[in-house]
Structure formats: C-alpha cells, structure tokens
Amino acid sequence: MILIVTRSAARSAVVVIVLLCASLSGTALLAQAPEGPLPPRPGTQIQATPPEVLAKLTARVTLVNTPVTVRDSKGAMIHDLDEQDFRVTDNGVPQKITHFEVGGDPISLVILAETSSRVEPFLPQLRKTGILFTEQVMGPESEAAVIGFDNGLKTLQGFTRSHDAIQSAFAALDAGESDLHLFDAMAAGVEMLSGRRKPTKETPAPGRRVLLILSEALDTGSESRLGEVLRRAQLENITIFSVGLSTTRSELQAKPRQNAPVPITPPGTFGMPGPPGTAPTTGGTSGDIDLIALARVLVEHTKSAATQHSLEIGAAATGGAYYSTFRGRSIESAIDEIGGELHSQYVLTYSPASRSDDGQDFGYHQISVSLVPDKANGKKITTRPGYYIPPPGS
C-alpha cells in the first residue's frame, strides 16, 4: 500500500510535532525548576547587595515581627506572660496582635564570622564554637548558614539544618587579609535571610530571621552603608545579635612578631593621652550615646556610623542584643547568653493599620510595646524601636 501525503498535510504534521515538543520541553523545565532562592554553595565567593539597590529599596509592609525581651528588676528574663498582657502601637496607633510566640518559632540564622588576620589569636577558640551555635542558638528545627569575611566574603556553609555541617564550617575557619568589610558582610547576610521563611497560607506569620555577628566593631572600606543595611533588616523583620571581639584583647593574645617594635608601656595601657576632653576606649561600651536615636538617623538617611558602636547600633535597631568580650565575658558565654535570650523572647506579629489612602504610610514608624498596668511593675522591656518605609523613587 502506498501512503500519499499532501504538502498541506505535511505542514500540519510539522506544526503539531513542534508544538508537542515545545509543550514537553516546557513541562520538563518546570518540573526541574527549584522552588524559592537557591542557597549559595559552601566555599563560594558572594557579592553584597549593591548600595544603590539598598538605597532605593521600597517595600509594602504587610506584617511586622517584633521580638520582645522582658526582664525583672534583677535582670532575670520573664517567660510567663501571655498575649493579652502586651500592648503594641505603631506610630501611636494601637495594633492587633495576629501571632504570638515565646521563643518557639523555628529560626533562619546567618552567622557572620570575622576571619581577618586581626583576630587570628581568636581562631582556635572560634573553631570550637560551632557546637554552641547548633545546640544553644539553632535548636532542632532551625536552619543556619555561615559566612566568613575579611576584605571579601565567602559562604562557608549554605543554609542547612545539619548540625554537623555547621560545626564543620567553624572547625575550618582560617585567617585571611587584615582589612575588614563588616557592612558588606552584614548586607550579604541580610540579603540571604530576606528570602527565607516567607509567610504562606499555611503559616501566615513570617518566620524568625536572625543575623548573628562575631566580629570587631570595625569597617575598613565597605561599599554598603550601615544605615542602608539596617533599613533593609528592619523591613525584612531581621533581628541582629552580635558578639564584639576586642582588638585590644586580640593584640594581647597574639604571638609576638619578629622585628616587632617593643612597646614602651605595659600591655593594655595607652602610651599617649588622647585629645583634650577624651578618654581612651578599651571596651565596647556605649557611654552616653543614645543608640536608638542614632539608629533612627542612620536608617532615615542611609548613612554609616562611628565604627566603634556599629554592632551595638545594629542590635538596638532590630531588637537584638550586643555582647562585648573585652572584660570578663568569654566568647562561649556570650553565645550561650544569646541563645538563652533568643529562645526566651516573645515574638509579637501584627499587620500595621494604615491611615493613608494607598495603604502605605511612608517615613519612620515608631514601635512601642508595653505591658498592661497590673503586669508592668518592675519590668523592663527591650524591643525593636521601629522601621522606615522609603517613599517611592527615593
């Protein structure tokens, strides 16, 4: 039998075959496409978010996570308060709490570990802290990633729930260059966290996102500005905790170098007086500086800050905490205290009530959290002070 195919029939067959191949190809591509952002591979160099992107960031804030730490008059944390004991206002407007949790929500955690040559004496100690992060900070259901930084950034471990992987990343910490791009590292950490634990229909409350920094409060050439980073962190509901590594303590612990100049004063003392009216700074104290007020200025105007207070400002701006290791407190005890506070915080979530026609109140939003009168006596509350929504085109 002879099959005769007309030219028009042949054309139709070709079209059908092409469409069928395109359909199958598209289906295969969709089946292979990963859901959500891909975590960086361990050991890869990463780029911080360009400053111009952060500076022009606009956002529609639909949910606000507010971490709250409550202490008694002796400084002990209080864990037995209920949702009805709290009052929240946003720019003076009372808010309805839509989600309430006491330290139990799973965490997405990015750990920034300074690896510059400046803290080389600390590295043997830091390499042993991985188990503290996994057991005291992460908990069983959380995920974490590790970034090492000096004048560059390297992902030592992408997001994982594996405690062994996090511990291995810390065990492999190694010293690099002497320069330190702290603000760029913070920007990269915020960027990594911004895509984690987004609200869904099943879990409408945003998950907890935490940036934990092990570093000196020093920046020597970042492209990012601290104000830009903190603005983004506030809008993304990211809480910053930090362990301040002391340059002075690092120098005291360092091995003497060959041909190094002999100091003319005892270790830890200052050979020359500072300018009139100033005193030498030996620890991470904030003195009389209003950190929250300074954080607001930086966030509104996207500026940087005096580096000796940058870690404290980051914690104050986001409802976290800063722990100095200069006097009396070890790195291990600081991490342990962070874990205790992180898992004792109350997390209050609300959807801000807007008073503008477009549903967005631009500018700075001041958050206020208080306790009802019969619960407030002798209690001290620590929380995030607010967030800034930039106007369109800014």
Domains annotated on the chain, with CATH: 45-59+105-249+283-345 (3.40.50.410)
Check: pTM over 0.85? Answer yes or no: no
219 C-beta neighbours (distance < 10 Å), count: 22
- 308 confidence band (pLDDT: 50, 70, 90): confident
Residue 61 contacts by C-beta under 8 Å, 6 or more apart in sequence? 235, 352, 360, 365, 387, 389
**In the block, residue with structure tokens 């990211």:** 238
Distance CA 296, CA 194 (A): 21
Residue 4 contacts by C-beta under 8 Å, 6 or more apart in sequence? none
Q: What is the pLDDT of residue 14?
A: 44
Q: What is the pLDDT of residue 54?
A: 45
Q: Which element (helix H / strand E) includes 83?
A: none
Distance CA 139, CA 50 (A): 33
Q: What is the token pair recorded at 88?
A: 């929240």
Indicate whether 208 pLDDT > 80.
yes
Determine contact, residues 110/192, Cβ cutoff 8 Å: yes
Determine contact, residues 194/232, Cβ cutoff 8 Å: yes
Q: What is the pLDDT of residue 198?
A: 74
- 103 confidence band (pLDDT: 50, 70, 90): confident
Residue 384 carries which side chain, given as an amino acid letter?
R
130 C-beta neighbours (distance < 10 Å), count: 25
Q: What is the pLDDT of residue 69?
A: 95
- 19 confidence band (pLDDT: 50, 70, 90): very low
Higher-scoring residue by pLDDT: 394, 73: 73
For 250, phi then psi, to 5°, come to -60, -45
Distance CA 28, CA 38 (A): 19
Share of the chain above pLDDT 90, in %: 55
Q: What is the pLDDT of residue 46?
A: 61
Choice among 17-26, 64-73, 228-237, 334-343 with the minimum mean pLDDT = 17-26
Q: What is the pLDDT of residue 267?
A: 35
Burial code (b: 16+ CB inside 10 Å, e: under 16) for 312-330 equals: bbbbbbbbbbbbbbbeeee
Choice among 58-72, 123-137, 222-236, 319-333 with the minimum mean pLDDT = 58-72
Share of the chain above pLDDT 70, in %: 69
Q: What is the dihedral of CA 150, 153, 156, 157, to 10 degrees?
A: 140
What rounded mean pLDDT belongs to the chain? 79
Q: What is the pLDDT of residue 164?
A: 97
Distance CA 192, CA 116 (A): 22
What value does the mean pLDDT take over residues 337-360? 82
- 60 confidence band (pLDDT: 50, 70, 90): low
Choice among 57-66, 333-342, 369-378 with the minimum mean pLDDT = 57-66
- 47 confidence band (pLDDT: 50, 70, 90): low
Q: What is the pLDDT of residue 145?
A: 98
Q: Say how far residue 1 (Cα) sits from the centre of its chain.
A: 75
Pairing label, strands 321-324, 238-244: parallel
Indicate whether 268 pLDDT > 50.
no
